[in-house]
Structure 1
Amino acid sequence: MRFAGIDIGSRSIELVVVDETGKICHLAQADTGFDPMAEAEKLMDGIRYDGIMATGYGRNLFEIAFDAPTVTEIKAHARGAQALFPDVQTILDIGGQDSKAIALANNGRVKKFEMNDRCAAGTGKFLEIMAKALGFTIDDFGKAALSAAKDLHISSMCTVFAESEVTSLIARGEDRREIARGLHTSVIRRAAGMLNRVSAKGDIVFTGGVAKNLCMVELLSKKLDRKIRVSRDPQMNGAYGAALLMAENR
């Protein structure tokens, strides 16, 4: 038997299919677009599975459209991370529109969590907007920040004010790479605070698309003096967790 998990986020949709042992059989991703249910249907088209569970901000729409069970992002990310890194009890997930710090108990269940979903500050969307303001692609943004000799302090985490601050720094002739590093540092400060409040020790599993940003990984490790562990496809973690939960709840 095969079981699927689908994570409908603000920026992208991920689909993961596992067999009854939990082994991944299929991975797929698409932009969320203006009609997430249509994009989700395209991802599922022609894929064989015996049950599907949805997570992410669009899970309730999916439940109505496809009569499928759902699970919160917190539980899905906890299950996916625990399966990939059984010995790790702290998770940081930074997605397109929110960020989450999660602490797990010894049995893998969620013990404590914090979530920022009220503004774009500290999220993938914030980094995307700042990269554009500096003239970088999102892929080059982290690389540029890593190459900077220092970081310039960014005083505002509000996306609108931070963008204005970046524009002023560019007008002053400041190095774009140093501005980029300062922006990364500002996001790390917020993430580190969330992590310390839920779990102050041990390795951290970093999930979500932002985990592919090497500058974020390096700065977070230095800030907290903790090892950061990232899977090969960190953006798939929520969908993977949902697929595993579907298999376990069949």
Structure 2
Amino acid sequence: MQVVAGIDAGSGLTKAILINQDRQVLGKAITKTGAGLEAAAAAVLEKALEQSGLRRGDVSYIATTGLGRYSIRFRDIQITEITSGAKGACFLFPSTRCVLDIGSQSTRAVRVRETGKVIEFKTNDKCAAGSGSFLERAAKYLQIKLEDIGEMSLHASNPQPISSVCAVLAESEIINHISAGVSIEDMLRGIHDSLSERSTSLLKRVAMEREVTFIGGVAKQHGMVKALEERLQFKVNVPDECEFVCSLGAALLGLQRFQKLSEGVGQNERDN
């Protein structure tokens, strides 16, 4: 049996997924990245192996993606998160033509072919207000759990916009809303509305086409999905485990590469 691992080394979380030659998922795991990217990758791979009943020696090929992909020295190949996210999204939803990926540090809009090949992509600016990390900071400031944001946002009755594109200024807006007696639910929906507006702008910059598949940790928040769909005025695809899409895509691309190598194709090529 051919077993390929895809590891997505993010700044906050590291994910691993194992697939076989038939592209069936054998196991998966997730862990906090912490200070050591390679250590987190090794640990999460072991968790996925344990879940699948496999051992390290059973793994034929390892593909890495994400911010820390170059830090994982035991990799066989590294793949950008733009490429891996597109591949994973199109595998799960074959009609995907655009991918929106909102992670901890960035937001990406990607237009793809039916094969999952990237045609064009755009990323947000470097400010945290345009990514998932702002939601994390807002949760800490409002003293609520990050995992509760999505549901609380759904109960907003009078959403208050967060218009600043700078995270520091956006936090100042939150302080002003608190002083004015605005409910947490209305503030959270305002944050989701702000993120959805910026995300829609990115999608338009890549000549957005339907269907749109929404991936990344922020896609787990139902309130964000609702805000995005209202902004776009159509439904989007959301994978059940949206945080694993990039690791899945890396594994799929790794499998393709391994099978080519097994056939003697591209043996002189090396990972950078």
Q: Secondary structure of the residue that 1:22 maps to in structure 2?
A: coil
Specify the alignment match of 2:81 in structure 1. 73
Structure 1 CA distance for aligned equivalents of residues 206 and 192 of structure 2: 22
Shift of 1:107: 3.5
The separation in 1 between residues aligned to 2:129 and 2:200, in whole angstroms, is 14
Q: CA RMSD in A?
A: 1.3
- Residue 115 of structure 1 aligns with which residue? 123
CA distance in structure 2 between the partners assigned to 1:43 and 1:180 by the alignment: 32
Alignment coverage as a number of residue pairs = 248
Matched letter for residue 198 of structure 1: V
**Does structure 1 residue 30 correspond to structure 2 residue 31?**
yes
For the 8 Å contact 2:111–2:208, the answer to whether it is kept is no
Say whether the 8 Å CA contact 1:133–1:166 is kept in structure 2: no
Q: Are the aligned partners of 2:63 and 2:75 in contact in 1 as well (CA < 8 Å)?
A: no
Say whether the 8 Å CA contact 1:90–1:199 is kept in structure 2: no
SS at match of 2:173: helix
User: Identity rate of aligned residues, in percent?
Assistant: 35
The aligned counterpart of 1:184 is 192
Residue 67 of structure 1: how far off its partner (Å): 4.7
Distance in 2 between residues matched to 1:104 and 1:201, nearest whole Å? 9
After TM superposition, the structure 1 stretch with the greater mean CA deviation from structure 2, 15-24 or 148-157, is 148-157
| Secondary structure, counterpart of 1:228 in structure 2 | coil
Alignment check: 8 A CA contact 2:5 2:16 kept? yes
Deviates most, 99-108 or 30-39: 99-108
Q: Secondary structure at the match of 2:78?
A: coil
| 1:71 CA displacement | 0.6
Select the residue among 105, 113, 135 that pairs with 2:143.
135
Q: In terms of mean alpha carbon deviation, does 91-100 or 147-156 score higher?
A: 147-156
Match of 1:16 in 2: 17
Contact 2:63 2:254 in 1 (8 A): yes
* Partner residue in 1 for 2:102: 94
Shift of 1:113: 0.6
5+ unaligned residues in a row in structure 1: which ranges?
Answer: none
Equivalents in 2 of 1:107, 1:232: separation in Å? 21
1:134 Cα deviation from its structure 2 partner? 1.8
In the aligned structure 2, how far is the partner of 1:154 from the partner of 1:121? 10
User: Could you report, residue by residue, the CA deviation over 1:78-99 in whole angstroms, capped at 9, with x for unpaired residues?
Assistant: 1101111111111100111011
User: Partners in 2 of 1:68 and 1:227 — Cα distance?
Assistant: 38
CA spacing shift, 1:39–1:117, aligned 2, 3 Å: farther
Q: What CA deviation, in whole Å up to 9, does each residue of 1:144-179 have, x standing for no partner? A: 111011211222121111112211211222222111
For 1:18, what is the secondary structure of its paired residue?
Answer: strand
Deviates more, 1:111-120 or 1:230-239: 111-120
Give TM-score scaled by structure 2 length: 0.88
1:247 matched to 2:266? The reply is no
Does the 8 A contact of 2:151 with 2:223 survive in 1? yes
CA distance in 2, matches of 1:201, 1:247: 28
**Number of the residue aligned with 1:83:** 91
Partner of residue 209, structure 1: 217
Return 5+ residue gaps in structure 2 as ranges.
47-54, 259-272
Higher relative contact order (Cα pairs below 8 Å, separated by 6+ residues) = 1
Instruction: Report if aligned partners of 2:90, 2:114 keep a CA contact under 8 Å in 1.
Output: no
Q: Distance in 2 between matches of 1:89 and 1:155?
A: 29
Structure ID, larger Rg: 2
Q: Give the Cα–Cα distance (whole angstroms) in 2 for the partners of residues 118 and 173 of structure 1.
A: 31
Q: Kindly provide the CA deviation profile for residues 216-246 of structure 1, in whole angstroms up to 9, marking residues without a partner as x.
A: 1111111111221111110000000000001
Query: Is the Cα contact below 8 Å between 1:133 and 1:167 reproduced in 2?
Result: no
SS at match of 1:238: helix
Distance apart, 1:215 and its partner CA: 0.7
Q: 2:197, 2:75 → 1: CA distance?
A: 40
Cα distance in 2 for partners of 1:216, 1:56 equals 23
Match of 2:52 in 1: none
